[in-house]
Structure 1
């Protein structure tokens, strides 16, 4: 029970606020300047330790996405923030709400550039935080944490940052009043009416779904909208979430991150509705139009910046679920439509032991409701072909293209979703960026199956080098790694699979385990 202003400390007021918004799990790797935060640490809070700060931030990212509430991160001054920056970039691209704190040296010695202090701390994580602050007074820390939380949770969600001097936590301050901030935006009524009318009048509409459909919990409404208009449904380029069942008759496939490929895929559609986009996310240089010349493009997105640079059509800033529900209230199709042809998935390779064979067996053996967290870029195409995502909130990947997010994110998702099986599909190169995360999974006893696609190289880089006519790219081979030994050294049971006939038994045992396991699969 907190007392009056004379007995309430900065620590008391901050923890009380965090408790009021359900932010009682702290992910961190603390240093000397963070320790006073944990004096008399309350029993209803938990601290999740990661052995490197990028792992810490990745775990918090997965946890926040799975809970739809901001994750709280505790880092060490400049060095710890620096270690975490790669996954901070990913969290920013994922639009993940995070409150990131870092210690600072005591205020009285800051003029003398003390050991382990942060110089210009609020500038260091820029531009990949929405807001950053080092409070001018110790008693302003609780209000800064509260503001950081509310800014992180405002669409488009994202990370925020607060630097806190080590001597602030024990200072007296006023209790922080609890308040609420609500955000709801169904979109401009006139613009939404225009989109609804265009859908009703279309002869061959298409819908492109981005990660915002999952973030805004619009899955069911989107399925209803697609069925109402017999619209082909594509996944936006490089989408980090799944917004539509990939076994549905209207599912059309995945758009590539190429201008010409997008135009070719959407050819023949007179109305293209993009929800939770963006549509024009490219990975290679392209030329010509951004959409089929005969198509009218509408985009419903929650990020004003994306709306500003969208090169085609009408962009509406709105919540995906509320906007989709508004479109469902619009007029019905004006003419009968023929359903688009059903997607035909490619057959498995007839010989060999490839990632396609692995992903097909994961699809066949995975427990109902299991969650896929993926960071295996060279296997993404095979996953699209052979491991369909068919249920809401069962797929997570990295929106930034960086490495080191998938393994810790799987741990964070599993911590938030304790009742289900999490399957982390990881490339061998990607896994090495955050292999220390296995220790946290073992300590927490989480039911994560880490499946390593062991192709002994940075295969995605090898494949992309062909775009530049490079036939022998440098520094892409990864010989000599032993993932089973790495896992076992950190308390995770592991098995290696070198032939197809041993795959089912290894996967089944891993999926049935109540604790973390690792399956290293050596593919061709």
Structure 2
């Protein structure tokens, strides 16, 4: 009779979940024993970095990824990073160790009496199997739930289960497949096409899901046929449209009143692949201008259900894009040229303005570079200078939780070895995931990290002004030298002090990881 571990390893291999991100504890060792040939274990030095790397890898590859965490303590360490994976709809399968079954009730050390409850507020599905023989089936459910919901799932397994006999029916799980197809029916399709074609001044709002679903080029064609302005949904975690395209208006402001203001004069707002909407600043007002209707298309049923206004269709946005492309005529005139970036603003004294840094990246990096960005106070400078025209070019912490940038960049570099990858992080956010540098060094990933050091939490300074609390403590972080920190983790690093030096360094493309630290002026996100 095969063991639970044997059946589980075989199931994971057949499902393609052979790259395991983890930081092991004692409860996890029995699962990790005897990993078959072809499995790869990616070690992270902190659970938050482990989840961030897995998040970036899953986004880069488009596949579910297995994460192995240690009981309640390791799972708790990972929860902040999981918020980003939830908001970006990343299908992570989190497998956590548990004490042996006889030790759970007495609450022995490293036992978690109600393991599933720890994660249920975050993940799409969480469980602990009732018996050892149910482990393979439960893990299969975790994988399929992650795929179907596009959300992390969590399974806690007592470590004495792995050596147990799997039972005579365990092999039935090995060939299982669960798929989803969601296209509008005939009446829904007709009504949608009529609504869009009848609109006099439509506006298109695109979410990060459009890039995740590899619809980047298709929505460019759709936008050019609609001929109206295009916005990215607020709280953007992936770029769904070329940011210098003549129809692109930028990222919607994350407040109720300014979003409504952006829609003034438009009779139809068509939202594809985004929740409606992920506001941030509390700026109350009308959700929509008078006479404006909103129609949302998303695969996320929860997002459709919780929206405060408009109509929604829970369907594959790709199928809707294809439907509309067939219904709309190609534009009669040639498309206008892409907008050039303006001259970058300059810094004060020896510090560069972030726009100078981003202009240098734009001019020195290949056009297919994938950027993982976690420098929140420089958003406005970023969009003023960058020219991103390829799918998969932009990743940002989806829930705003710091610690995604460095690990996410490692995960994207691991998942897309065919593309250059640059991590752009601030000195405040870098501290949350700095241990990922060790993994980059161990794997010899060709990753460039550009670290903007301004000595403060710039986004918080901006918020302190908005909220009228200029005397808030803990906003400054002087005295950090990430070149020394990076070198301690095995990553070569350099501190550049001028624009010409920065451009010369960025023009180099070493085979392994590197960190470039540059001092910058304090800016605001908008």
Structure 1 spans left out of the alignment, 5+ residues:
1-5
CA contact (8 A) 2:84 2:397 kept: yes
Structure 2 equivalent of residue 161 of structure 1 = 154
Name the CA distance, whole Å, in 2 between partners of 1:94 and 1:385: 24
Aligned to 1:47, which of 41, 49, 54? 41
Name the CA distance, whole Å, in 1 between partners of 2:253 and 2:185: 30
Indicate whether 1:371 and 2:347 are aligned.
no
CA contact (8 A) 1:237 1:279 kept: no
Q: In structure 2, do the counterparts of structure 1 residues 292 and 341 end up closer, same or farther at CA, with 3 Å as the change threshold?
A: farther
Structure 1 equivalent of residue 439 of structure 2 = 440
Structure 2 equivalent of residue 396 of structure 1 = 395
Indicate whether 1:87 and 2:97 are aligned.
no
CA contact (8 A) 1:188 1:316 kept: no
Give how far 1:348 is off.
Answer: 2.1
CA contact (8 A) 2:297 2:313 kept: yes
Structure 2 equivalent of residue 136 of structure 1 = 130
Structure 2 equivalent of residue 280 of structure 1 = 277
CA contact (8 A) 1:231 1:339 kept: no
Structure 1 equivalent of residue 519 of structure 2 = 522
Correspondence 1:132-211 to 2 at 5 A: 132-154=126-148, 156-173=149-166, 174-175=170-171, 176-211=173-208
Name the CA distance, whole Å, in 2 between partners of 1:200 and 1:341: 25
SS at match of 1:242: coil
Structure 2 equivalent of residue 485 of structure 1 = 484
Q: In structure 2, do the counterparts of structure 1 residues 351 and 109 end up closer, same or farther at CA, with 3 Å as the change threshold?
A: closer
Give how far 1:225 is off.
Answer: 1.0
Give how far 1:50 is off.
Answer: 0.3
Q: In structure 2, do the counterparts of structure 1 residues 188 and 471 end up closer, same or farther at CA, with 3 Å as the change threshold?
A: farther
Q: In structure 2, do the counterparts of structure 1 residues 337 and 317 end up closer, same or farther at CA, with 3 Å as the change threshold?
A: farther
Aligned to 1:349, which of 339, 345, 350? 345
* Worse-superposed segment, 470-479 or 414-423: 470-479
Q: What's the RMSD between the two structures over aligned residues?
A: 2.0
Name the CA distance, whole Å, in 2 between partners of 1:196 and 1:215: 24
CA contact (8 A) 2:104 2:113 kept: no
Deviations 1:449-504 (A, max 9, x none): 11111111100000111111222331010111110000001110000122223211
Q: In structure 2, do the counterparts of structure 1 residues 515 and 133 end up closer, same or farther at CA, with 3 Å as the change threshold?
A: same
Indicate whether 1:116 and 2:85 are aligned.
no
TM-score, normalised to structure 2, is 0.94
Structure 2 equivalent of residue 250 of structure 1 = 247
Deviations 1:340-375 (A, max 9, x none): 998686542255421111111111111231100011
Structure 2 equivalent of residue 3 of structure 1 = none
Structure 2 equivalent of residue 469 of structure 1 = 468
Runs of 4+ in 1 over 3 A off after TM superposition: 335-347
Name the CA distance, whole Å, in 2 between partners of 1:464 and 1:102: 37
Indicate whether 1:406 and 2:396 are aligned.
no
CA contact (8 A) 2:245 2:339 kept: no
Indicate whether 1:97 and 2:94 are aligned.
no
Aligned to 2:8, which of 8, 14, 23? 14
Indicate whether 1:217 and 2:214 are aligned.
yes
Give how far 1:16 is off.
Answer: 0.6
CA contact (8 A) 1:426 1:452 kept: yes
Indicate whether 1:306 and 2:303 are aligned.
yes
CA contact (8 A) 1:252 1:343 kept: no
Structure 2 equivalent of residue 295 of structure 1 = 292
